[in-house]
Amino acid sequence: MSSLFNEILYKPLFNGLVLLYNSIAIEDLGLAIILLTVLIRIILFPLFHESLRHQRITQELQPYIKKIQEKYKENREAQTKAILELYSHHKANPLMPIILIIVQLPILWVLFRIFNGGLNEESFGLLYSFVDKPEVISHTLLGLVDLSKKSFYLAAMATGAQYLQSRLSLPKPKAGQELTQAEKMGRNMVYIGPVITAIVVITLPAALGLYWLTTTIFSIFQQVIINKTFSHGESKGTSK
């Protein structure tokens, strides 16, 4: 199983990083990490897009779910059926974010192993025949940040980006809409992600912080696209 994991994920990503390091990134590990992250996000763009869209639809449907819960509060079976029909009508899958997490975890683990180990003589034994061994090994971003060590600044930027993305994912309350306690708690969760990001990233090599910052910035742009889609009428379907 471990061998299969290495062949399917570890070696392709490691070789991709070295290939970028040798070419476009001009032997700068930081630039190579940014380029690899962008490449991963482009490949996973449809999955991330659908996850963000389903998450937004689910949030938009909360007032209608509340009404269903009140209407069928004495009948859990009818309540569940009505909520599932509501999701089905709006083509929403509340489990989509969980699916995205499941897909991301192996990739995150591989990138952690790669970035934590860095580029070294031992790891170069995993290179494909068409990927050249780097002549110069550098673990910096533009010669400014040592990516093999912790970086408070990268951790702070990653945390700030995570907070912005979380804020953008929240729909604006409709005029006169009174939020339930559950909805208020949900909105307070916007602080949980950034706090977890800060705790995790500050304890890891800066290479992981750079990856997290880059992928979160990519998510921000995708979130803006989703929000524009809803503002131009997709969310109107939730009022039918």
189-229 confidence digits (pLDDT tens): 677 778 888 888 888 888 888 988 998 898 888 888 777 77
Q: What is the pLDDT of residue 238?
A: 43
Residue 177 has which token pair? 């809409």
HSE-CB for 106 with a 13 A CA cutoff: 14
pLDDT at 144 over 50: yes
Q: Which of 7, 22, 44 is nearest to 137 (CA)?
A: 22
- Residue 149 belongs to what H/E stretch? none
pTM: 0.75
Reference 142, options 153, 132, 127, 126; nearest CA is 153
Tell me the C-alpha to C-alpha distance, in Å, between residue 85 and each of 31, 90, 92, 98, 129: 47, 9, 10, 20, 54
In angstroms, rounded to a whole number, what is the distance separating the alpha carbons of residues 165 and 160?
9
